[in-house]
Structure 1
Amino acid sequence: MVRKESGFTLLEMMIVLTVFMVCLAAALIPLRSIADNVNDRQFFQQVERDLFEAQAYAIAKKVNIVVHFFEDERNDYHIYTLEQPRKMIAKRKIPNRFIHDERSIGSFTFLRTGTTNRFGSIYFTSEEKSTRLVFQIGRGRFYFVEE
């Protein structure tokens, strides 16, 4: 009986496919954390843009702007004018992986001059890390700190 030497056996194919699947699975495992990091970065950039917009609006229109984070334990933030009728500047969802931290200041106001009426931190805490949004006293400046 003459054997054909040109093909692969079923066992060889199964071994190759198993190795391929293990390599593919190993590559996809960190993909979830990479996607979460990208989404977090995009969220914090959006918060920063919204706060800059609110501060600029307060200075340009000479009105006070109120900013609320995690109001009534909801995962959102909203920015609106203090004048009547209230004008909504921004209302956005906070990703569900961030939980409300009792140490956070709940709300603050951008005054007509662009400064804030309060200083302190807003904490965005998840299972992996905690990020603080820090408001400095007197100037209306803010920045993010990853802990």
Structure 2
Amino acid sequence: MKEDGFTLIEMLMVLGIISTLVLLAFPLQFNVLKEQEEKQFLKTLASDVLYIQQRSTLTSGMNRIIFNENSYRIIVDGRPSMNRAYPKGLTIDTRTDRNITFNYNGNIKNPRTLYLVSSLNSYRMVFPFGKGRFYLERQ
């Protein structure tokens, strides 16, 4: 009588190889997810800065962004509008003046450079003199 099939040892070896490959692939997937979350945060931050800049040309009220330790707050017409938390592991250097304010014609009142550091990357967020938008440099 001929029996076809796999022995228990063969099955255990195949399962061991598959589980090792799955364990190695999981951290790679996690880093991709963190990187996408960071990119989305930076896009949202850029949109919020542009919103405040445009809003300052339309109204005479106080429009600004205040960077805190774990989040940033958007102030529209002197009233808190939104509070956005940073992704886990991302910090913004808040040792200098934490306010980003634009005057009535869209020029920044307090040009500066802010530093963003995450577990994956570090960035310089530069607010230059004049009407231009800020730009982000990956370091």
Q: TM-score range by the shorter chain?
A: 0.7 to 0.9
Count of residue pairs the alignment pairs up: 139
Partners of 2:94 and 2:105 in 1: CA distance: 29
What's the CA shift for 1:29? 2.0
Partners of 2:108 and 2:132 in 1: CA distance: 5
- The answer to whether the aligner puts 1:57 opposite 2:55 as a matched pair is yes
Q: How does 1:75-114 map to 2 (within 5 A)?
A: 75-81=70-76, 83=77, 86-101=78-93, 104-114=96-106
Partners of 1:16 and 1:97 in 2: CA distance: 37
Paired residue for 1:116?
108
Check whether the contact 1:62–1:113 (CA below 8 A) recurs between aligned residues.
Answer: no
% of aligned pairs identical?
Answer: 25
* TM-score normalised according to structure 1 size: 0.83
Q: Show structure 1 runs of 5+ residues with no match.
A: none
CA RMSD in angstroms comes to 1.9
Paired residue for 1:11?
9
Partners of 2:82 and 2:50 in 1: CA distance: 11
Partners of 1:92 and 1:58 in 2: CA distance: 20
* TM-score normalised according to structure 2 size: 0.88
- The answer to whether the aligner puts 1:46 opposite 2:41 as a matched pair is no
Classify the secondary structure of the residue corresponding to 2:110: coil
Check whether the contact 1:103–1:122 (CA below 8 A) recurs between aligned residues.
Answer: no
What's the CA shift for 1:103? 5.5
Moved over 3 A (4+): 102-105
Which amino acid is the alignment partner of residue 133 of structure 1? M
Classify the secondary structure of the residue corresponding to 2:84: strand
Classify the secondary structure of the residue corresponding to 1:59: helix
Tell which deviates more after alignment, 59-68 or 48-57. Answer: 59-68
Match of 2:121 among 122, 129, 134: 129
Check whether the contact 2:113–2:124 (CA below 8 A) recurs between aligned residues.
Answer: yes
What's the CA shift for 1:124? 1.3
Partners of 2:124 and 2:73 in 1: CA distance: 18
- The answer to whether the aligner puts 1:37 opposite 2:35 as a matched pair is yes
Check whether the contact 1:104–1:123 (CA below 8 A) recurs between aligned residues.
Answer: no
